[in-house]
Amino acid sequence: MGHQRALIGFLTACVPEELLHAAGFDPVFIFPRPDECGRGRVHLPGFVCWIVTSALDQALGGELDQLAGLVLAKTCDATQGLADLWRRNVPHIPLFHFGMPSRLDGPAVKSYLAAELRDLRKRIQAHTGHPITDDELRESISWCNRQRALVREAYTHIATCSPPDFYATLRTMFKSRRLILPQPSPLPDAPRLILVGSALGDVVLFEILEQVGARVVGDLFDLGERYFEADAAEDGDPLEAIAQRLCTLLPTPTKYHSTKSRVQRLLELVRTRQAAGVIFARQKFCEPHGFDYVRLARALSQVGVPHLLLELEQTSQAGQLRTRVEAFMEVIGRV
Amino acid sequence: MSKYPRLASLKAISQVMTRYYAQRSVMARFRPVAYVTSGAPVEIMEAMGILTLYPENYGALCGAQRAAVALCEIAESTGYPADLCSYARSHLGAVLQPKRAPLRGLPRPDLLVCCTNICGTVLKWYEALADFYGVPLFVLDVPFQRATPPEPHIVAYVADQLRELTAWLQAHTGRRLKPERLQKTLQYAREAVSLWQEILAFGQHRPSPINAPDLFVAMAPVVTLRGTRRAVECYRRLKAELEARVAQGIGAVPGERYRLLWDNIAIWYRLYRFFRPFMDAGACFVADTYTNAWTVALDVDEPFTGMALAYTGVFINLDLATRLRIIADLARRFQVDGVVMHANRSCKPFSITQYEIRDALREELGLPVLIIEADMTDARLYNEGAVQERVAAFLESLG
Amino acid sequence: MYTAGVDIGAITAKAAVLKDGELLATAIIPAGYDRAQAASRVLDQTVAQVGISRAQIARLVGTGYGRVQVHGADRTVTEITCHARGAHYLCPEVRTVIDIGGQDSKAISVGADGRVLEFVMNDKCAAGTGRFLEVMAQALEEDLLNFGMLALSSPRRATISSTCTVFAESEVVTLMAAGIDKAEIIAGIHEAIATRLATLAGRIPVRDVVMLTGGVALNAGVAHMLGEKLGHSIVVPRHAQLAGAIGAALIAYADLTGGRTAE
């Protein structure tokens, strides 16, 4: 396709990107901006994370007018509220709600998810005025799989990149669908860290990690490693393939899988990447990550892995974050 | 409080609830215990003779008994961030240190049933309980109802899971769900809900024989004893008492001057005290969005589809436009003069769209709206001075 | 061999000089606006007490909020690590340090060798810091120096429920207007800060010996009530405010002698 593709925005880590791509869009994630969210705050109470507040604020400020739409999957209460507010206050950017199930396994989930994907496909078709064929879907699955493979390959180099560079690469990927690998910047004796949370847009965090000379060797970010870990099948029914992939990924905190455990994955990551410690980068007011932090931290403490909790918000003071991270480096540097 | 007539039925309901907790404690030794969320289809469990307990109701109890703050501190000491739902923090604090909790905590569960129709917090809360108690958890996933009526695939999904839940309960308790028992339970539930709706409707009278805080006390049976004969008895009695009041022209607030609408969950640690300045100024809360949330219409003939529809269509699971229509309709039918909205820190589903609702009520119905920032259970977030000032100013503005 | 540590906090600047790892002298002055200058002055005062010149300091470590402004520091180490090390020097059995500064508070779990095992901090909210007491003392027109003793003089403690300093202040004003005994209100204020600190400390394992450091440690009311809530007796060393500077100087010494280092 040679023509410029329209952009469709999304929040939440379980939108069916392949379907959006097949409809002719490039799906782009709406990262929060550190500017004052005055417009957003008129509509949202203060106890909502800044990712949601900033998205609404940017929309109200006309900064997202190039988007053909916004896709929100059911994940947390804040984004669910955003869907309601968006419909009323940003009518020029149509909202597509994707009822992603909260369960990832169980006998009823697959058929519901397939039906919901068919429903979303119908709604998008109604909006664009042209059909989304199965062949187009398969092409898009293939395209998305290739992108994921590139990101997986990039992740094999994460330990040799500076954290700001690596995560800037990932953000660029989500904003422009292009992957530009960062220059390696190895620091052989750097303390090795795993990051957990939903903080891809918190640029200040990565800068601090670089300043203290740490290297990230893996992450459990909602939009990080786990997001790219599985591909969708390129044969068979394409919507089923997309559904299958969404259910196969390691759950984010808002999803329940009866056997796939975030605790186990984190412990495994720490072990296989020889991490010295874990930093939890939690957005203030984020309920899912707030509860999840306690289970994960407890598991780490039980096996003696040092960890640090950082609570992030729009007005995060770099100095305060830096002190905590530095002190944590001093703790893990002992060993 | 003595200048305001007290409803004898409320005292009876309080006693029923005291007995409820005491009895559960004893019966827990002989029957399987399930913790359930407030929006769960309890009728299935009730019909199977499984003892149900509601951590949310327990959270409200902790709030009302002013025990919640200490329990929240316990949870926060363990690492739970202080900005999480205060029902969850209070209950988890009680789980961690039952000796410091009202009733010394709840009896241990054998099973956990979490229905996601009210919020996302319950999923994490129940996951934490499953970790702590090491007992099986069933997640009943109810998708958001973005259109009314809901899409068929959503109803089918929920109905399928209800069958799955039934099989799961049978497997874990060895008890069977007998169709005639389910019918009976659903009939009781329907009757309790129907009576509850009639009780709420009394607020349309001038003067209203009932005030919102009365309803906050009275709601416990329809939440925790739905499907039992006991709940039906409670509400028949309350309905009769309200009928008598209406016949005699007795209002909950003598000299009723203003009729108000309350939005959001109650401020449990200020259950009546909050409303005192309103009552003194002749203002009665004739309607509210919280107690209206338990008006699920249950179809007895098609139990699983009926329950699926009812539990998907709970108020808090509806899109904003539908909720606004319901609230505006309440405001009109009950002829309210103003609205007080509790901006409840703990409950995003109830609070996150409040500014929109406020604006719509102001613009479309010309109603004055007061927003009170507080929390349903965590008294540390309640600023007495600020609240008093705002309430006084609002009452003055009603003229 | 002389080593030195300078701790630049938000409110005060502190310094300590050691000889061969033994504490010789300390000083504490207001930090003021020019922290670099305060760092220099407080170090000068300390070396003057010892009777040496700055040039004789073999190694200087800077710590605290303004640590990057300690000119001439050979390196900087966070106040968390320094407080643990300093507390350990003052009392080798210490296993928990609760540092209550002017604008932040921390709880640190300390190992047998003075190293930090875990820590938690509150630096976003004035409640639970010296600022809380300052605001309340002003509202009650009382001297901060007497505040703790006044708190302990009352058998009853008023209830102050707000976690927010601003809200709590208005609660205090309301209590005063209602005619509640001043000492009772002050006791309630101390109860509130002790509760905040206990909740913070609860997030790390609290083990004996528990030591308070920082300016607020010298407040007997806080020390007593915090001890009650934690169920542990609390040690408050004479050099409570200087633990950070002492720890920094010790780390400087360890750097030179190849002893345990911070990193």
CA dihedral A32, A33, A37, A41 (to 10 degrees): 0
User: What is d(CA A283, CA A199) in angstroms, rounded to the nearest whole number?
Assistant: 7
Of the residues B157, B341, B373, the best mutation for testing chain A's interface (the one with the most A CB atoms within 10 Å of its CB) is: B157
CB atoms within 10 A of CB B397: 10
- Tell me how far CA of residue B257 lies from CA of B30, B288, B340, in angstroms: 53, 18, 16
Residue A31 half-sphere exposure, CB side, CA atoms within 13 Å?
17
pLDDT digits (tens, 9 = 90+) for A309-324: 999 998 888 989 999 9
Q: Has residue A73 been placed in a domain?
A: yes
Q: Has residue B295 been placed in a domain?
A: no
Q: pLDDT band at C146, cuts 50/70/90? A: confident
Please judge whether B349 and A107 are an interchain contact, meaning their C-beta atoms are less than 8 angstroms apart: no
Of the residues B135, B347, B353, B373, the best mutation for testing chain A's interface (the one with the most A CB atoms within 10 Å of its CB) is: B353
Please judge whether B352 and A81 are an interchain contact, meaning their C-beta atoms are less than 8 angstroms apart: yes
> Looking only at Cα atoms, what is the longest distance across chain A?
62
Domain housing B39? 8-179
Q: Has residue A141 been placed in a domain?
A: no
Domain housing A267? 159-332
Q: Has residue A151 been placed in a domain?
A: no
Q: How near does any CA of chain C get to the CA of B379, in Å? A: 7
pLDDT digits (tens, 9 = 90+) for A39-74: 998 999 999 999 999 999 999 999 999 999 999 999
Phi, psi of B11 (to 5 degrees): -60, -40
The count of structural domains within chain A is: 2
User: What is d(CA C144, CA C132) in angstroms, rounded to the nearest whole number?
Assistant: 11
Peptide bond between residue B36 and the one before it cis (omega within 30 degrees of 0): no
Q: Has residue A150 been placed in a domain?
A: no
Q: How near does any CA of chain A get to the CA of B355, in Å? A: 6
Identify the CA nearest to A6 among candidates A131, A128, A144: A128
Q: For the domain that residue B32 is a member of, what is the CATH number?
A: 3.40.50.11890
Category of C94 on φ-ψ map: left (φ > 0), alpha (ψ -120 to 50) or beta = beta
Q: How near does any CA of chain A get to the CA of B98, in Å? A: 19
pLDDT digits (tens, 9 = 90+) for A161-205: 999 999 999 999 999 999 999 999 999 899 999 999 999 999 999
What is the sign of the dihedral through the CA atoms of B142, B143, B149 and B151?
negative
Alpha helices in chain A (DSSP H): 17-22, 38-43, 50-60, 77-89, 109-128, 134-155, 163-176, 203-211, 238-248, 262-272, 287-302, 318-332
Residue A181 and residue A325 in one domain: yes
pLDDT > 80? residue A335: no
Chain C residues closer than 8 Å to B381 by CB: 162-163
Q: Is C65 on the interface with A (CB under 8 A)?
A: yes
As given in the structure block, the two tokens for residue B91 are 């209950």
Among residues 369-388 of chain B, which lie with CB inside 8 Å of chain C? Answer: 379-386
Asked if B382 contacts B375 with a C-beta cutoff of 8 angstroms, the reply is yes
- Tell me how far CA of residue C91 lies from CA of B32, B46, C249, in angstroms: 53, 61, 16
Q: What are the residues facing B204 on neighbouring strands?
A: none
Residue A122 and residue A166 in one domain: no
**Mean pLDDT calculated for residue range C255-261:** 76
User: What is d(CA B389, CA B383) in angstroms, rounded to the nearest whole number?
Assistant: 10
First-to-last alpha carbon distance for chain C, in angstroms, is: 22
Q: Has residue B335 been placed in a domain?
A: no
Residue A181 and residue A69 in one domain: no
Residue A131 and residue A255 in one domain: no
Residue A182 and residue A310 in one domain: yes
CB atoms within 10 A of CB B399: 8
Q: Is A111 on the interface with B (CB under 8 A)?
A: yes
pLDDT of residue A225: 97
Please judge whether B121 and A287 are an interchain contact, meaning their C-beta atoms are less than 8 angstroms apart: yes
Identify the CA nearest to C124 among candidates B137, B102, B344, A317: A317
Q: Has residue B227 been placed in a domain?
A: no
pLDDT digits (tens, 9 = 90+) for C161-183: 887 888 888 889 889 999 999 99
Contact partners, residue B264, CB within 8 Å, separation at least 6: B289, B290, B341, B342, B343, B344, B347, B350, B351, B354, B376
Q: Which residue of B has its CA nearest to A117?
A: B153
Arithmetic mean of pLDDT over chain A: 95
Please judge whether A102 and B153 are an interchain contact, meaning their C-beta atoms are less than 8 angstroms apart: no
pTM (2 decimals)?
0.94
Asked if A25 contacts A13 with a C-beta cutoff of 8 angstroms, the reply is no
Peptide bond between residue A288 and the one before it cis (omega within 30 degrees of 0): no
Q: Which chains touch C (3 or more CB pairs under 8 A)?
A: A, B
**Mean pLDDT calculated for residue range A117-139:** 97
pLDDT digits (tens, 9 = 90+) for A265-292: 999 999 999 999 999 999 999 999 999 9
Arithmetic mean of pLDDT over chain C: 92
Among residues 27-56 of chain A, which lie with CB inside 8 Å of chain B? Answer: 42-45, 47-48
Residue A239 and residue A284 in one domain: yes
Contact partners, residue A184, CB within 8 Å, separation at least 6: A157, A160, A161
pLDDT of residue B3: 75
Q: How near does any CA of chain B get to the CA of A212, in Å? A: 26
Q: Has residue A53 been placed in a domain?
A: yes
Chain A residues closer than 8 Å to B316 by CB: none
Contact partners, residue A325, CB within 8 Å, separation at least 6: A208, A209, A212, A214, A279, A308, A310
**Mean pLDDT calculated for residue range A81-87:** 97
- Which candidate from B76, B379, B383 shows the least CB-CB separation from C199? B76
Length of chain C: 263
The count of structural domains within chain B is: 1
Of the residues B73, B380, B388, B390, the best mutation for testing chain C's interface (the one with the most C CB atoms within 10 Å of its CB) is: B380
User: What is d(CA B192, CA B198) in angstroms, rounded to the nearest whole number?
Assistant: 10
User: What is d(CA A276, CA B358) in angstroms, rounded to the nearest whole number?
Assistant: 50
Question: What class has domain C1-91+240-263?
Answer: alpha beta
Q: Has residue A102 been placed in a domain?
A: yes
Q: Has residue B84 been placed in a domain?
A: yes
Q: For the domain that residue A73 is a member of, what is the CATH number?
A: 3.40.50.11890
- Tell me how far CA of residue B108 lies from CA of B25, B27, B35, B174, B311, in angstroms: 9, 12, 9, 19, 26
Q: In tens digits, what is the pLDDT along chain B, a chain of 399 residues?
A: 457 889 999 999 999 999 999 999 999 999 999 999 999 999 999 999 999 999 999 999 999 999 999 999 999 999 999 999 999 999 999 999 999 999 999 999 999 999 999 999 999 999 999 999 999 999 999 999 999 899 999 999 999 999 999 999 999 999 999 999 999 999 999 999 999 999 999 999 999 999 999 999 999 999 999 999 999 999 999 999 999 999 999 999 999 999 999 999 999 999 999 999 999 999 999 999 999 887 777 877 889 999 999 999 999 999 999 999 999 999 999 999 999 999 999 999 999 999 999 999 999 999 999 999 999 999 999 988 889 989 999 998 887
Chain B residues closer than 8 Å to A112 by CB: 143, 153-154, 156-157, 160
Residue A178 and residue A118 in one domain: no
The alpha carbon of residue A180 and the mean position of all alpha carbons in its chain are separated, in whole angstroms, by 18
Q: Has residue A209 been placed in a domain?
A: yes
Residue A109 and residue A171 in one domain: no
Q: Which residue of A has its CA nearest to B163?
A: A108
pLDDT digits (tens, 9 = 90+) for B267-313: 999 999 999 999 999 999 999 999 988 777 787 788 999 999 999 99
Q: Which residue of A has its CA nearest to C260?
A: A334
The CATH number of C93-236 is which of 3.90.920.10, 3.30.420.40, 3.40.630.10, 1.10.3470.10? 3.30.420.40
First-to-last alpha carbon distance for chain B, in angstroms, is: 24
Residue A299 and residue A167 in one domain: yes
Q: Give DSSP secondary structure letters for A251-288.
A: PPTT-B-SS--HHHHHHHHHHHTT-SEEEEEEETT-HH
Please judge whether B124 and A292 are an interchain contact, meaning their C-beta atoms are less than 8 angstroms apart: yes
Q: Has residue B224 been placed in a domain?
A: no
Peptide bond between residue A191 and the one before it cis (omega within 30 degrees of 0): no
**Mean pLDDT calculated for residue range C22-48:** 95
Q: For the domain that residue A198 is a member of, what is the CATH number?
A: 3.40.50.11900
Q: Is B147 on the interface with A (CB under 8 A)?
A: no
User: What is d(CA C8, CA A1) in angstroms, rounded to the nearest whole number?
Assistant: 61
Q: Has residue B189 been placed in a domain?
A: no
Asked if B341 contacts B266 with a C-beta cutoff of 8 angstroms, the reply is no
Domain closes at, from A105, A136, A167:
A136
Of the residues B84, B375, B383, the best mutation for testing chain C's interface (the one with the most C CB atoms within 10 Å of its CB) is: B383
User: What is d(CA C88, CA C107) in angstroms, rounded to the nearest whole number?
Assistant: 14
Q: Is the ipTM of this complex over 0.95?
A: yes
pLDDT > 90? residue C144: no
Q: Is B81 on the interface with C (CB under 8 A)?
A: no
User: What is d(CA B9, CA B12) in angstroms, rounded to the nearest whole number?
Assistant: 5
As given in the structure block, the two tokens for residue C198 are 């206990």
pLDDT digits (tens, 9 = 90+) for C226-236: 999 999 999 99
User: What is d(CA B334, CA B203) in angstroms, rounded to the nearest whole number?
Assistant: 7
Of the residues A47, A100, A113, the best mutation for testing chain B's interface (the one with the most B CB atoms within 10 Å of its CB) is: A47
- Which candidate from B83, B127, B160 shows the least CB-CB separation from A47? B83
Strands C22-30 and C12-19: antiparallel
Phi, psi of B7 (to 5 degrees): -80, 120
- Which candidate from A306, A324, A333 shows the least CB-CB separation from C263? A333
Q: Which chains touch B (3 or more CB pairs under 8 A)?
A: A, C
pLDDT digits (tens, 9 = 90+) for C49-75: 999 999 999 999 999 988 989 999 999
Share of chain A above pLDDT 90, in %: 93
Asked if C61 contacts C75 with a C-beta cutoff of 8 angstroms, the reply is yes
Domain assignments of chain C as residue spans, ordered by start: 1-91+240-263, 93-236
Q: Is A116 on the interface with B (CB under 8 A)?
A: yes
Chain C residues closer than 8 Å to A317 by CB: 123
Q: Which residue of C has its CA nearest to B71?
A: C199
Q: Say whether A10 sits in a helix, a strand or coil.
A: strand
